[in-house]
Structure formats: C-alpha cells, structure tokens
Structure 1
C-alpha cells in the first residue's frame, strides 16, 4: 500500500464578509505569533531558556486565551500551526533574540484547519466551517480517500485553499527497465546519462519585465502611489514567473520518473555553491533543490527507485569508460579527451554516467 500526502492548490473567490473573517483570523494568528515570540525573547534574555518548547508555549497559549478573546476563538489546529511556526523559527535561528516580530511588511498570510465534521468537501464545493461555502477553481475534481487539512492562503492579492489529502493505493507507473543518471547544470538544466538534455524554463520575458520594474522603482518616491503600484505589478510578475517554473518542473520530473525505474542524482550542497560569487545568482535562480525534491517524492509515490550519491564524488573528473581521474579539468571545459583511453567526453553527460554507476554500486 502506497501512502503519500498530496497538496492541491485551489483558487477561491470569497465574498466580502468571508474576506473579513479570513483577515480577522490572520490578524489573530499574527498577534499570537508575536505574543509567543516576545514572551520567549524575554525569558531568553533573562537566561530562563525552557527545556521543552512545546510545553512552555502551551502554557503561554493558555494565558493568552484567557487574556484575549480573539485568540480563544481560534481553532485548535490553527493555534498548533502558529505554535509550530514559532518553534521552527527559533530552532533555525542562531540567535532567537534577534528574530523579528510579524508586522505590516512581514505578515502572516495563511492559517491551517484540520479536517473536522464541520468541514465538508463535495466535488468542487467546500463547506469550510464558520467561513461558509466556496467553489474551488482547480480544473478537475480532486480524488481522495481522506482529507488531512485545509490551509487558507492569501498570496499576491488572491485567495487560495491548499487541500492536503491522503491518497492510498496510488497506482505505480509501469516498469520500463531503464536506469538513468542525472547531472544538473546552468546552461542545460538537466543532462541525462543517455545524452538527453533539457533546457531551463523560459523565464527570459519575465526577467526583463522585473528588471524594467526595478529601473522604474529607482525613480519613484518610496511610499508614493506610483511606487506602490509598481511594487504590486512586480509581485504579480514574480508570482507568474514562479508558476512558469513550477509547471515546467512538474512536467519534466513526471516525464523522467515515468520513463525510468532507477534515477540517480548528486546530493547538492546549495549553500556551499552559493559562496562562489561568479555563479551564485544563476545557481540560486536555477532552483535545483526544488527539482530534486519533485523527482524524489514522485519516485516514492509511483514506485520508482531514487538514489543520491555524495556531493563530493568527483563525477566530472572521472572517465566514465576507464575510470581515469583527470584532475586538471576546469569549469570552462565542456568537452575533454581522456589521456588514458582516448575517449572524448561531453562534460555533463560523462558526469551523469558516473553518477549512475556510483549509485548502482552504492545500492
């Protein structure tokens, strides 16, 4: 039995009354987040650091419920989600005392509701507890065995419902008997060990528009109406570019997983790569981690094998035919001839072949 949580992002068009309810809940979540963080920072400053964060914050939440009616009206699952967000921020921070509270610039934009008897999803109509009824705009009917949770999201001046479902017995992709190694790059996003290459998503037009908006912003007074208008257009274009990338990555990852039974990739250390200032911007925009994540979870979902080799494995320097290690190769060399066996290699295809061979030996 295959089990994997899946999330569907559906557009909704709430009425004014429903928007007001959503905004009140978001404000309450933001207020609770700041209350928990501020109380922790006070104790942290006085060296009264709690050993068990969950128990500590539950005590603080209990006091907040007694003192503030807006927090007492929040759903338990919504409060738990805020709690988890605070704990995650504290654990990821080197100095929790420097964590910033949520404000007008850094707002809470979502809240979580676990599935209960007061929430019902029938076809594309969602009855969401006290918030009322919504039509989901998704393009197809969502098939599920059980809904785990609903998250209301405000993004780019639009409202969405993120529905996380439990899908059991997902039909695996047919076996093809193929094994593939993958090398990720900048010129070619994906290079396969069989010689196939895939370009990055075409976001050139979006990048030009964003550059144009940046130039316009430099000549506007911060806080003016025209400044805010350009910021709004910029956010909309960034949202559009993100959708282009996600759509391309989903189609490419599904194609790779469907066509191959074993998929091998390097485990990338993105933070270390970003230290090279020559390529840091391009590496950051390539979104390699997102593509790796998609391929990995789809392999788990559809019954394929995913193997990662250590990032320190010298896949580029090894000859995939004889195993000779060519230490003198530099980053600008795209093809090279093996001094030992005379084989001429495409740099990226050779690396993908070595990744596959190493993964198979490892497995």
Structure 2
C-alpha cells in the first residue's frame, strides 16, 4: 500500500508504478493488469491508461490548434518583434509564426501586412528587419510562393475619416456606423470578403492631437491608421484646410496603391477637406472608387459639383448608407436591417 500526497491509498500492480505527482510509467509489453480494490473505489487497466494517454495527446493537439494565432494576431506580433533592433531570436520567432499558419492564413497575413498604411510590410520585414541569411532565405521562399498564389477575392477596402464621420464631436459614435463598416468588411454569403480592410485616414497628427481615444471609442477593428501632420493641424485653426487636403490625398493614394485588386468605399464628412479629397481621388482613380459617402456636417454644405457626382452620396444617417449599399449588392438585406434598427433605436 502506498499513501500519496492527498491521503488517498492506491494498490500497486507488479506491472505499474504510480508515483505521487508524476506521470505513470507503463510497460506496454506486459498484459493488462487490473488495479482493483475490494470496495471498487480504485479500478483501472493498462489498456484504459493507454486510451487516456491517446485522449490526452488528442486534447493537447486540439489545445495547440485553438491557441494558434489568427492572421491579425500574427501581424500584430510580427510588428512588435520588428520594432527597433531585431535580434536573431526575434527573427526565428517571426519565421515560426509565419510557418505556423495555414497557407490560406499566410496569404491573409501578407494581405494585411501589405494592404494597410503600416510601415511593417512583408518587403520591409524580409529586406530590413531579418538579417540572418538562412531565415531570410526561408521567409523569401514562403513570400515568393504567396506572391504566385491566386488572390483570395477582390472585395472592398474602407477608407474612412474619424471625427464627425464615425465619432461625434462630443464623444460616442454615430448609430449604425459600426454595423455598416462590419457588413462591408465581412461581405455577404454570395460574395464573402476577408475582414481587416478598414483603414482610418485622419487629419490628426498623432502628436499635437492624437486619435487614440476616438479610435478606442469607435472600436472599428481597423487595419491601419494614416495620420495628418502638424502643419495641417495648425493651419486648420485658421480655416486653411489645404494642408489637410494634400496630406489626405497622399494617404488615400498610398492605400489604393497597396490594394491594387480592391475597390475602395470612402467615408468622410463635409466639415473640412473631405469633399475636395474625394473629388480629387475619384478624378485620379475613377476605376478604383466604388462610392464616396459624405456625412453632412451642420452648416457646411458639400459643393454642388461634388455632390452631383454619380459616385458621391451626401447623407444624414447611416441607415441611408445601408439602403444604398444593399441596393448595390454590397451588403445584404439582413445586414441593412440591422443598421436601420440601430438608427431607429437611437432615435428613441
């Protein structure tokens, strides 16, 4: 008889040793030997222990699969590893992250890294952040294969302003905006899209004025943020929006260039420079812009020549946006109804 640390008493078979706090050591070349007690409290067989071991291994595999990173999580992790000096240990971890993903998720990771405004693209990762030649060569082979893979689907990217487009000036978000963006980002059953294509282009420079609080409040699940500059932020105080306009045009064009196979749906407002930005982007890239939605800011009308453009929609509430997107087949009726319910509920 052997008493373990919990005070329970276990009988020992000559073929099995059960050590307190240790895994059982089993000789599989011996016949099954029962561990029986007269009162039936301890009954086991080596065969059952083998099955338990197989079950434990299966559970371990399932746990490992469930703990695997999503493409979005992998992107964020790689960005963290690439900041500052990248030691060889970090380079190895980057490679292991990429290799741990399925081919489909690797393709999605590449799309996320290369499609946003972030500086941590796959090209930078390979040619600037990874120095070890062996790791770089293996990563290069993976990226080359992904470059030659068929794209997932075309879909849409959302390029959106933040203040008074998504977020109210006094705080909070406009009813229905999250549901609209999510519906576009996910697509429909007939035309599913790959999530992660919401890109914020703000006039805030990130230093004198940070969009962090507004982004957290909006909770868009955005893929990237493009910032304004100090000159634009300061000149806007004197009603000069030319710096904001030029910077936003530059940021929009970068996103269009990084997403050559996707059309853009633009969201902005009439308060500052968005109407002029959208007009110029449509003029330069008419085939790349599906629609441009301009949220009407009180007291600031959209110039008539811009408002009359067939790709431009000036709106008051996001249920109007949902109906138009549904009519165009970009979102379905159920998605549009969800937006309408949110707007109606907010009206009380």
Q: Fold-level match, TM-score > 0.5?
A: no
Relative to its length, the structure with more strand (as a share) is 1
Q: What TM-score does the superposition give when structure 2 sets the normalisation length?
A: 0.24
Q: What TM-score does the superposition give when structure 1 sets the normalisation length?
A: 0.23
Query: Whose Rg is larger?
Result: 2
